[in-house]
Structure 1
Amino acid sequence: MCQRFDHLTVVWMTGAGQKKQFAIHDAFAAVKSDGSVITWGDADEGGDSSRVEHRLQEGVVQVVGNGGAFAAVKSDGSVTTWGYADRGGDGSIVEHRLQEGVVQVVGTGGAFAAVRSGGSVITWGDAAGGGDNSRVEHRLQEGVVQVVGTGEAFAAVKSDGSVVTWGDADGGGDSSSVEHRLQEGVVQVVGNGGAFAAVKSDGSVVTWGDADRGGDSSRVEHRLQEGDGVVQVVGNGAAFAAVKSDGSVITWGKFNKGGDSSRVEHRLQEGVVQVVGNRRAFAAVKSDGSVVTWGDAAGGGDSSRVEHRLQQGVITVIS
């Protein structure tokens, strides 16, 4: 997660706890307009970058945090890492492959994946959490256009519309149960705390991973089929919300974290233009400028205190 200001971008670490819970960790990294990086907070989790400080003085274009480390991508395509070694803070095992050509880095709770300009993928960090991609390495040599992480797994979308997964099986690293539906036509993959959802070019949605967190969408599967017009899927810590072309919203996953939107279902039948999720709730912006919320009340699912101010004029919601 990050927030951009006029002269710097602050990145704070989000990862996964022992039970695949999204967790906020105790370190920050600020990217300044001159491409340098400043860190503070828990030293072990990346708040102390003195070991690599000389490499963070200029040229940094992206910083990504996971559950205990940071990775910085520089303008020359190289990557610098720091923080807990076993969570990706030590990239020495793949350092020779991180010297140039990296265009994107993505983190899970304890690992990183780097996409190179040729479409290959490099991983490091906690092996069980996605740091070891040897099982599918032959499929990650070229053609990858997007990598997405859950708490403990990765999914890569290739240029032919197929999807490759690795990492913790229960957290989405094993997609064998839906593999036949992930061979072509995938245009977007979204991850939450323990599951993935893939949107296909025909408007259908395929899910896998932790059933409770949205890996099982059978309850609403009839509304996520071919031709049903899903244009966007958003995940929070334990649920998903799909926006359809008619402006309606479908939800599934943990009921108390936003997977059950029945309380506000009548307001989600049409006109939704944006849905945003945090760890425990969702907020939908409608075309009339109003906002609808659901999920864990204490986590933002209950907006009744400010409801009178959310009736009109809202143009975006940020988490």
Structure 2
Amino acid sequence: DDGSVVTWGTAYFGGDSSSVAGKLQEGVVQVAGSSSVFAAVKKDGSVVTWGKVASGGDSSSVADKLQEGVVQVAGNGHAFAAIKDDGSVVTWGNAASGGDSSSVADKLQEGVVEIAGNSNAFAAIKVDGSVVTWGYADFGGSSVADKLQEGVVEVVGNHSAFAAIKVDGSVVTWGTADRFGDSSSVADKLQEGVVQVAGNGHAFAAVKDDGSVVTWGKVASGGDSSSVADKLQEGVVQVVGNYFAFAAIKVDGSVVTWGAAAYGGDSSSVADKLQEGIVEQIAVVTALRWQTNFNIV
């Protein structure tokens, strides 16, 4: 609670923060990660970065813009985007993955309230409910712009696609269709009533206001939930994903899992412990490198 940061792990991927240790002794209020870099926001609005240079560990090219006023940092697989207190956005890291936002710079000067990333692109929600995207086009850097002009309240990414929830409860998806950005198979179920969307590496799961769940994407990673469909018809209050599976908490405190069995989709070995009393589940995410286990609290 003193605002200091402790790091460990592979040095090349941000486990060694000794080069910036003096800046991480106090005052840190947020840490965001990419696949190989960390960025820390301090209470004075400055940003400290470390890790792989080419993916944003070196933010010297925008250092003057990161000295004050930053309120949030979002990472994708290879770059970062920072929202400042005036609603403008600063980006750095791998240019093609979103570190270079010059193509949409005029739209990022003000009014940005939230940013989501996937492996190689970013999507920013503006105060008017519109969405601005940049990065690799095939990964969602190029969006379905006509459907994102207003009314968007949340954007979620998986590896190579995005899903946006609109104020009317409908969902808009875009990105690489054959990499799980195509929701046409369940489009009729995503027209209204969606209150949450969770992404994992290759699929999405949407919770509706009646407590049911709709899934799409790679079958083996949870895009197909037919094996547990009877348990997802009602009563679901939250879904989280790791890279290959999903877990849903129900109103009675039980948990339902599906997706790749070896990565948490099969919870039969602990089924007796997941029948009741679960209040929170955590799928630990470091940018787009989802860990492959679930932790239950």
TM-score normalised according to structure 1 size: 0.86
Contact residue 62 and residue 74 of structure 1 kept, 8 A: yes
Structure 1 Cα separation of the partners of residues 30 and 236 of structure 2: 31
| Structure 2 segments unaligned to the other structure (5+ residues) | 284-297
Measured after TM superposition, the shift of residue 131 of structure 1 is 0.3
Matching of residues 203-282 of structure 1 within 5 Å: 203-225=169-191, 228-282=192-246
Judge which range, 285-294 or 309-318, deviates more: 309-318
Moved more, 212-221 or 254-263: 212-221
- Residue 214 (structure 1) shift: 3.0
Partners in 2 of 1:166 and 1:260 — Cα distance?
29
Structure 1 runs (4+) greater than 6 angstroms displaced: none
SS of residue matched to 1:305: helix
| 1:291 match | 255
Deviations 1:68-100, CA, capped at 9 Å, x for gaps: 211111110001111111110110100000000
Give the RMSD, CA atoms, in angstroms: 1.1
Task: Say whether the 8 Å CA contact 1:211–1:253 is kept in structure 2.
Answer: no
Deviations 1:41-84 (A, max 9, x none): 22222222222222222211111121121111111000111111
1:71 paired with 2:35, answer no
Matched, 1:200 2:166: yes
1 CA distance for matches of 2:235 and 2:158?
25
- CA drift of 1:303 comes to 1.1
> Cα distance, 1:276 vs. partner?
1.2
SS at match of 2:102: coil
Question: Match for residue 87 of structure 2?
Answer: 119
Q: Where does the alignment leave 5 or more consecutive residues of structure 1 unmatched? A: 1-32
Shift of 1:114: 0.4
Percent identical pairs in the alignment equals 67
Report the residue type matching 1:265 in the other structure.
A
More moved, 94-103 vs 53-62: 53-62
Tell me: CA distance 1:140–1:285, structure 2 relative to 1, closer, same or farther (3 Å): same
CA gap 1:50/1:309 in 2 versus in 1, 3 angstroms: closer
153, 157, 167: which is aligned to 1:187? Answer: 153
- The 3-state SS of whatever aligns with 1:38 is coil
Classify the secondary structure of the residue corresponding to 1:76.
coil
Pick from 87, 99, 108: which aligns with 2:76?
108
Change (3 A) 1:43 1:243: same
Higher relative contact order (CA 8 A, sep 6+): 2
The amino acid that maps onto 1:235 is G
SS at match of 1:40: coil
The reply on whether 1:308 has 2:272 as its aligned counterpart is yes
Deviation at 1:274, TM superposition (A): 1.1
Which whole-Å CA distance do the structure 2 matches of 1:89 and 1:308 have between them?
44
Indicate conservation of the 8 Å contact 1:196/1:214, yes or no.
no
Residue 223 of structure 1, CA deviation: 0.8
- Give 2:8's aligned amino acid: W
Whether the aligned pair in 2 keeps the contact of 1:143 and 1:159 (CA below 8 Å) is yes
Aligned length: 283
User: Structure 1 residues 309, 56: closer, same or farther in 2, change over 3 A?
Assistant: closer
State TM-score, norm by structure 2.
0.93
